[in-house]
Amino acid sequence: MSDSKIRYGALTGLVVVTCLGSFGQITMATLAGIMGSRLSPAPELATLPVTVGIIGIAAASWPLALARKRFGDRLVFAAVLLWAALGGIIQAAAISEGSFVVFLCGCFMLGNNMAMVAQYRFAATELVPYSYISRAVSFIMVGTLLAALIAPSVALLNRNLFEIDFAGSFAALSGVFIVAAILVAFLPLATSVKFRDKQATASSISTLLADKDIQLAIVAAAAGYGVMSLIMTATPISMHVMNGHSVEATAGTIRLHILAMFTPSLFSGWLIAKLGLRRMLWAGILLQLTCIVIAIGGNDVWHYRAALIMLGIGWNLLYVGGTTLLARRIHGSEGVRLQGINEFVVFGTMALSSLSAGGLLYSVGWEWTNLAALALLMLIVISLLRSR
């Protein structure tokens, strides 16, 4: 079999693993806020499970990037999936026992896996030619789109698997992660990270971070994720707890949001290749701004759903665009380290936004929580203007 067929076979398998690995992310987005409301000792801590999960992403991003460089993708991907399987069991037990602290531990472990799933896109860029980077990133994210279609139904189907409501939803994640780990073991992934440009001279991290295009890549992905995290984390609490919309309506809104996040991956890579990165980044900013305008216009179900659809599409363009720009600028042996820094900044911003969501929501309300996101959008605008 030719090397190109092996590479594209690995890419296809990686999409399937992304789908299975993303079950944790989708289940957390759908249920963690609701479970936080039930288990937390104070309403202001209702979003803490989501925040702890995101802290788990940020804390693991740098170490996992270094682990990929040292041990290779196959071993590290499989090990983290098994770690996440244990996290799902811990969450199910915590819900059954009513332990908020133990539930947070499970959230942290699932966050570690989400950090690894996010780095699948970098592994994908090493499997394709330079000109196909944006398409490879989009293709991998289609796996999360598939998870968004399947995972909520699986979570609701298993919610009554045990005596306590929703304990079975998290227990089911363990089986999914184990299947994904077995699949990874058979994928023809590299045993060590290879770089597209073998002749490039390694640059220092400080030199790379001084590059305005790299700054733009990191800010676009980080700020776009921050806006998304702030509004998405606040949505289940605002919808279900504050405005009395049903669990089903709230879960449906989150599902539409996640579909909006990943459905554009079917064509966003192609759009970036044809129309250019900067146009797509400006479009992402405009869509997230539209989300804020709709969100502050009312509290009906359609307001939430329309706003979160705009939020998701805008996030996709900013995230795929930032990742593509970063992958194009990486050269030499510092690539994985820079990927680790990028992931730490992106998910650190996401964690801070998520942590702020509960406090903002209960102190200033839904409308001002959305308006606070404008500060993050301004950072992207400034970075775009500086990099011209």
Taking CA atoms, 379 is separated from 146, 218, 330, 360, 386, in Å, by: 31, 11, 22, 20, 11
Q: Rounded to an integer, what distance in angstroms lies between the CA atom of residue 224 and that of residue 322?
A: 9
CA within 13 Å, CB half, 243: 18
Q: Rounded to an integer, what distance in angstroms lies between the CA atom of residue 38 and that of residue 98?
A: 9
Dihedrals phi, psi of 164, to nearest 5 degrees:
-90, 130
Q: Which of 25, 24, 43, 26 is nearest to 240 (CA)?
A: 43
Which pLDDT tens digit goes with each residue over 338-378? Answer: 888 888 898 888 878 877 887 888 888 889 999 999 999 99
Q: pLDDT value at position 126? A: 79
Which pLDDT tens digit goes with each residue over 336-349? Answer: 778 888 888 988 88
Work out the number of other CB atoms within 10 angstroms of the CB of residue 178.
Answer: 16
Query: Among 27-41, 121-135, 303-317, whose mean pLDDT is lowest?
Result: 121-135
Q: Which of 186, 239, 195 is nearest to 361 (CA)?
A: 239
Which pLDDT tens digit goes with each residue over 192-204? Answer: 544 444 444 445 6
Q: pLDDT value at position 93? A: 95
Domains with residue ranges and CATH for the chain: 3-188+205-386 (1.20.1250.20)
Q: Rounded to an integer, what distance in angstroms lies between the CA atom of residue 319 and that of residue 79?
A: 26
Structure confidence at residue 91 as a pLDDT band (50, 70, 90): very high
Q: pLDDT value at position 200? A: 41
Query: Among 38-47, 97-106, 109-118, whose mean pLDDT is lowest?
Result: 38-47
Q: pLDDT value at position 40? A: 87
How much is the average pLDDT of 257-282? 85
How much is the average pLDDT of 87-106? 95
Structure confidence at residue 108 as a pLDDT band (50, 70, 90): very high
Query: Among 114-123, 171-180, 237-246, 314-323, whose mean pLDDT is lowest?
Result: 237-246
Q: pLDDT value at position 231? A: 93
Whether residue 256 has pLDDT greater than 80: yes
Q: pLDDT value at position 198? A: 42
Query: Among 131-135, 180-184, 238-242, whose mean pLDDT is lowest?
Result: 131-135
Q: Which pair of tokens denotes residue 188?
A: 């023809």
| Contact present, 173 and 84 (Cβ < 8 Å) | yes
How much is the average pLDDT of 138-158? 87
Distance of CA 65 to the CA centre of its chain: 16
Structure confidence at residue 226 as a pLDDT band (50, 70, 90): very high
Q: Which of 279, 282, 14, 308 is nearest to 137 (CA)?
A: 14
